Amino acid sequence: MTSAVLGRASDTAFKRLEEAGGDLQKLPEPFRTVVIIYSAQGVIDNGGFRCFFEGDWPGQPPYSSISDAHRRIGADVAAECIARAAALLPFADPHLGEDRRHTFLESLPENSELFTLGDSVCGDKTVWGKLDEYVQRHTSAF
């Protein structure tokens, strides 16, 4: 469960993203971090790493930007799982290759390392708790 402060911070961060024309790079780091975690963790919680890696992310950021956001909030286990899973994609710049990712993901058995890593992050309530703590530490930004 998230706090009221986190709820308001996420509303503000997504409003700022809209005002920036959807360009994450135009947001100050606290807003960018909240948007990235909310977006990525929401997808992971709903479908694991299969869903996380299947489609392109807006602006096609490298996966390292997502694992870095997890590290910024202190969700180091999730960050490491995301980074390790991204490294398992067998081609350069995997964040740019939706068709290649989709084909690769379809070839994997459900018990593959990539999906097992995703199982470690899917439903991990500590990520939301760490994001809440991060927002509490950065309330002046929101």
Check residue 2 and give its pLDDT. 60
For residue 48, what pLDDT is reported? 95
Q: How far apart are CA 96 and CA 31, in angstroms?
A: 24
pTM of the model: 0.91
User: What is the pLDDT, as a whole number, of residue 1?
Assistant: 44
pLDDT for 28-87, tens place per residue?
Answer: 999 999 999 999 999 999 999 999 999 888 888 899 999 999 999 999 999 999 999 999
Using DSSP, state whether 133 is helix, strand or coil: helix
